[in-house]
Protein backbone atom coordinates (compact mmCIF):
# COMPACT_ATOMS: atom_id res chain seq x y z
CA UNK A 1 0.00 0.00 0.00
CA UNK A 2 2.83 2.40 0.87
CA UNK A 3 4.51 1.63 -2.46
CA UNK A 4 1.32 2.42 -4.40
CA UNK A 5 0.84 5.68 -2.48
CA UNK A 6 4.47 6.68 -3.08
CA UNK A 7 4.21 6.04 -6.83
CA UNK A 8 0.99 8.12 -7.05
CA UNK A 9 2.58 11.01 -5.15
CA UNK A 10 5.72 10.81 -7.30
CA UNK A 11 3.62 10.70 -10.46
CA UNK A 12 1.61 13.72 -9.32
CA UNK A 13 4.79 15.68 -8.58
CA UNK A 14 6.25 14.86 -12.00
CA UNK A 15 3.00 15.84 -13.73
CA UNK A 16 2.88 19.12 -11.80
CA UNK A 17 6.48 19.91 -12.67
CA UNK A 18 5.77 19.18 -16.33
CA UNK A 19 2.73 21.47 -16.33
CA UNK A 20 4.70 24.28 -14.69
CA UNK A 21 7.56 23.95 -17.15
CA UNK A 22 5.37 23.64 -20.24
CA UNK A 23 5.00 27.42 -20.59
CA UNK A 24 8.74 27.93 -20.99
CA UNK A 25 10.74 25.91 -23.48
CA UNK A 26 14.53 25.90 -23.31
CA UNK A 27 17.26 24.16 -25.22
CA UNK A 28 21.06 24.12 -25.05
CA UNK A 29 22.75 23.17 -28.29
CA UNK A 30 26.38 22.96 -29.36
CA UNK A 31 27.17 24.59 -32.70
CA UNK A 32 29.84 22.74 -34.69
CA UNK A 33 31.64 24.68 -37.39
CA UNK A 34 32.44 23.09 -40.74
CA UNK A 35 36.01 23.37 -42.13
CA UNK A 36 35.12 26.67 -43.86
CA UNK A 37 34.12 28.24 -40.53
CA UNK A 38 30.33 28.16 -41.11
CA UNK A 39 27.69 26.38 -39.03
CA UNK A 40 23.92 26.11 -39.07
CA UNK A 41 21.62 26.03 -36.06
CA UNK A 42 17.90 25.93 -35.44
CA UNK A 43 15.15 24.86 -33.09
CA UNK A 44 11.53 23.76 -33.41
CA UNK A 45 9.25 24.28 -30.40
CA UNK A 46 5.90 22.57 -29.94
CA UNK A 47 3.37 24.22 -27.69
CA UNK A 48 2.77 27.85 -26.86
CA UNK A 49 4.70 30.08 -24.56
CA UNK A 50 8.09 31.66 -24.39
CA UNK A 51 11.48 30.12 -25.07
CA UNK A 52 15.13 30.70 -24.26
CA UNK A 53 17.57 28.76 -26.42
CA UNK A 54 21.31 28.80 -25.81
CA UNK A 55 23.82 27.85 -28.49
CA UNK A 56 27.42 27.14 -27.44
CA UNK A 57 30.56 27.19 -29.59
CA UNK A 58 34.35 27.38 -29.30
CA UNK A 59 37.03 29.13 -31.31
CA UNK A 60 40.64 27.89 -31.50
CA UNK A 61 42.27 31.12 -32.68
CA UNK A 62 41.37 34.82 -32.63
CA UNK A 63 38.31 35.19 -34.87
CA UNK A 64 35.52 37.49 -35.98
CA UNK A 65 31.97 36.19 -35.39
CA UNK A 66 28.73 36.98 -37.27
CA UNK A 67 25.48 35.30 -38.17
CA UNK A 68 21.80 35.51 -38.98
CA UNK A 69 18.47 34.07 -37.89
CA UNK A 70 15.18 33.75 -39.72
CA UNK A 71 11.86 32.74 -38.21
CA UNK A 72 9.60 30.20 -39.84
CA UNK A 73 6.46 31.36 -41.59
CA UNK A 74 3.16 29.60 -41.98
CA UNK A 75 0.00 30.38 -43.90
CA UNK A 76 -3.01 29.83 -41.62
CA UNK A 77 -6.25 30.72 -43.41
CA UNK A 78 -4.26 31.87 -46.44
CA UNK A 79 -2.39 34.61 -44.53
CA UNK A 80 1.42 34.31 -44.44
CA UNK A 81 2.62 35.01 -40.90
CA UNK A 82 5.73 34.33 -38.81
CA UNK A 83 5.28 31.56 -36.25
CA UNK A 84 7.82 33.00 -33.78
CA UNK A 85 8.50 36.39 -32.26
CA UNK A 86 12.23 36.64 -31.44
CA UNK A 87 12.54 39.33 -28.77
CA UNK A 88 16.32 39.36 -28.22
CA UNK A 89 19.63 37.78 -29.14
CA UNK A 90 22.52 38.17 -26.68
CA UNK A 91 26.12 36.94 -26.59
CA UNK A 92 28.48 35.77 -23.86
CA UNK A 93 31.92 34.32 -23.23
CA UNK A 94 32.31 31.39 -20.85
CA UNK A 95 35.35 30.59 -18.72
CA UNK A 96 35.40 28.17 -15.76
CA UNK A 97 31.59 27.98 -15.77
CA UNK A 98 31.18 31.78 -15.51
CA UNK A 99 29.36 33.58 -18.32
CA UNK A 100 30.22 37.19 -19.15
CA UNK A 101 27.98 39.25 -21.44
CA UNK A 102 29.52 40.57 -24.66
CA UNK A 103 28.52 43.65 -26.61
CA UNK A 104 26.79 42.73 -29.86
CA UNK A 105 25.26 44.34 -32.92
CA UNK A 106 21.81 42.92 -33.69
CA UNK A 107 19.72 44.18 -36.60
CA UNK A 108 16.02 43.25 -36.48
CA UNK A 109 14.29 43.29 -39.87
CA UNK A 110 11.06 41.68 -38.68
CA UNK A 111 11.42 37.99 -39.48
CA UNK A 112 15.16 38.23 -40.26
CA UNK A 113 17.98 39.09 -37.87
CA UNK A 114 21.64 39.83 -38.53
CA UNK A 115 24.10 39.85 -35.66
CA UNK A 116 27.74 39.99 -34.82
CA UNK A 117 30.21 40.66 -32.05
CA UNK A 118 32.16 43.87 -32.84
CA UNK A 119 35.25 42.77 -30.89
CA UNK A 120 37.72 40.09 -31.84
CA UNK A 121 37.00 36.80 -30.06
CA UNK A 122 40.10 35.20 -28.56
CA UNK A 123 40.48 31.42 -28.35
CA UNK A 124 37.89 30.12 -25.89
CA UNK A 125 34.24 29.19 -25.30
CA UNK A 126 31.35 31.40 -26.31
CA UNK A 127 27.63 31.28 -26.87
CA UNK A 128 24.51 33.20 -27.79
CA UNK A 129 20.98 33.11 -26.43
CA UNK A 130 17.82 33.56 -28.47
CA UNK A 131 14.71 34.65 -26.53
CA UNK A 132 11.16 34.89 -27.82
CA UNK A 133 7.64 33.58 -27.84
CA UNK A 134 5.56 31.42 -30.11
CA UNK A 135 3.36 33.74 -32.17
CA UNK A 136 -0.28 33.93 -31.18
CA UNK A 137 -2.46 31.22 -32.66
CA UNK A 138 0.33 28.77 -33.51
CA UNK A 139 0.80 25.34 -31.95
CA UNK A 140 4.42 25.01 -33.10
CA UNK A 141 7.12 27.00 -34.80
CA UNK A 142 10.75 27.07 -35.79
CA UNK A 143 13.67 29.33 -36.55
CA UNK A 144 17.13 28.70 -37.94
CA UNK A 145 20.23 30.50 -39.07
CA UNK A 146 23.88 30.46 -40.00
CA UNK A 147 26.88 31.60 -38.01
CA UNK A 148 30.43 32.10 -39.20
CA UNK A 149 33.84 32.57 -37.64
CA UNK A 150 36.64 34.14 -39.64
CA UNK A 151 40.08 33.53 -38.12
CA UNK A 152 42.56 36.40 -38.05
CA UNK A 153 45.96 35.42 -39.44
CA UNK A 154 48.79 35.32 -36.92
CA UNK A 155 51.60 37.90 -37.20
CA UNK A 156 53.98 35.18 -38.43
CA UNK A 157 51.66 34.66 -41.41
CA UNK A 158 52.01 38.33 -42.36
CA UNK A 159 55.79 38.11 -41.87
CA UNK A 160 56.01 35.12 -44.26
CA UNK A 161 53.80 36.96 -46.78
CA UNK A 162 56.06 40.02 -46.61
CA UNK A 163 59.20 37.90 -46.96
CA UNK A 164 57.72 36.07 -49.96
CA UNK A 165 56.74 39.32 -51.69
CA UNK A 166 60.20 40.75 -50.98
CA UNK A 167 61.86 37.70 -52.56
CA UNK A 168 59.59 37.99 -55.61
CA UNK A 169 60.45 41.68 -55.99
CA UNK A 170 64.20 40.94 -55.63
CA UNK A 171 64.01 38.15 -58.23
CA UNK A 172 62.02 40.29 -60.65
CA UNK A 173 64.49 43.17 -60.29
CA UNK A 174 67.47 40.85 -60.89
CA UNK A 175 65.91 39.43 -64.06
CA UNK A 176 64.98 42.83 -65.50
CA UNK A 177 68.49 44.24 -65.07
CA UNK A 178 70.30 41.22 -66.58
CA UNK A 179 71.79 42.06 -69.98
CA UNK A 180 70.98 39.96 -72.94
CA UNK A 181 74.07 39.30 -74.86
What is the residue-level pLDDT of the chain in tens, covering all 181 positions? 444 433 333 333 333 333 333 334 455 899 999 988 999 999 888 876 888 999 999 999 899 999 999 988 877 677 777 888 888 999 999 999 899 999 999 998 878 999 999 999 999 999 999 998 887 767 788 889 999 998 887 667 666 777 777 777 777 766 665 555 4
CA atoms within 13 A on the CB side of 128: 25
Q: How many residues does the chain have?
A: 181
Output the domain CATH number for residue 90.
Answer: 2.60.120.1050
In sequence order, what DSSP letters do the residues of 141-159 get, joined into one string?
A: EEEEEEEEEEEPPPHHHHH
Q: Which domain holds residue 105?
A: 24-171
* 7 belongs to a structural domain: no
CA distances from 149 to 42, 103, 132, 144 (A): 17, 17, 25, 17
Amino acid sequence: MKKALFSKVAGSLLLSAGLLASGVAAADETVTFQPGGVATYGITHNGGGSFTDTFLFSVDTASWFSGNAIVGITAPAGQIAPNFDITSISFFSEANGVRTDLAANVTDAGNYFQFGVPTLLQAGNYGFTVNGTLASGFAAGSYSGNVAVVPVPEPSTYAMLGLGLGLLAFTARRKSSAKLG
